[in-house]
Amino acid sequence: MITKKYLRQQTIRALMAMPADQRQQATRDLHQQLWSSSAWQRAKTVATTISGDFELATAPIIARAQAEGKTIAVPTTLPNRQMAFHVVDDQTNFATSSFGLQEPTNGEIIAPATFDLLIVPGLIFAASGERLGFGGGYYDRYLVKTTGTKVALALPAQWVATPTWPVAEYDVLLDEIFQVTP
């Protein structure tokens, strides 16, 4: 049986090998799908992440949310695999976490129940809403606390029709996955 670890490694390799022009076009397409969605249109408070090297770029999402007057927040990791989302604005300071990601060190913390829209990271997304994350369980612990719309943006290497990994009862399903076909 293929392990989650193996699937994660294969997906990261595929994302890193994606030609820059294809990545840029797919990213633009995914951003446009997000911005034209009803979930984005009606959202006043949005959660996303600061993307890492091989992940879909989130800086344009943050900038667009700010330009549209939405409250945008990104996570900081806490002990016991917990997270808190801090508002991002021109006063926000960032530091590199132990995971090598940029995390806010200040800013108002948004309560989980306040989010209208959460753009959830992951490595693989299935059409029926399952996601294979990075393995820490941070998002599964957080998403159960919110009623906001949960979406993901899947580059071609991240999209599958059905999960090819074991899905646990505590895995939180996404409401919608935006994707581009290869």
pLDDT classification of 1: cutoffs 50, 70, 90: low
What CATH number did the domain enclosing 77 receive? 3.40.50.10420
The pLDDT of residue 182 is: 61
Q: What is the mean pLDDT of residues 164-175?
A: 88
Q: pLDDT (tens digit, 9 = 90+) per residue, 16-66? A: 999 999 999 999 999 999 999 999 999 999 999 999 889 999 999 999 999
The 3 state secondary structure assigned to 145-177 is CCCCEEEEEECHHHEECCCCCCCCCCCCCCCEE
Range of the domain at 157: 4-179
Q: Is 144 exposed, middle or buried (0-12, 13-18, 19+ CB in 10 A)?
A: exposed
- CB-count burial class (<10 Å; 0-12, 13-18, 19+) for 182: exposed
Statement: residue 74 has pLDDT above 70: yes
Place of tokens 């994302």: 15
Per-residue pLDDT of 79-95, as tens digits, reads 898 999 999 999 999 99
pLDDT tops 90 at residue 170: no
Tally of domains in the chain = 1
Contact (CB, 8 A) for 138 and 83: yes
- Rounded to whole angstroms, the Cα distance separating 180 from 157 reads 10
Q: What is the model's pLDDT at position 167?
A: 87
**Does the pLDDT of residue 2 top 90, yes or no?**
no
Inform me whether the pLDDT recorded for 180 exceeds 70: yes
Q: Which of 30, 1, 14 is nearest to 123 (CA)?
A: 14
pLDDT in tens, 141-169: 999 999 999 999 999 999 999 998 888 88
Residues 136/98, Cβ–Cβ less than 8 Å: no
pLDDT tens-digit series, residues 115-143: 999 999 999 999 999 999 988 889 989 99
DSSP character string of 65-82: HHHTT-EEEEEEEEGGGE
Q: How far apart are the first and last CA of the chain?
A: 26
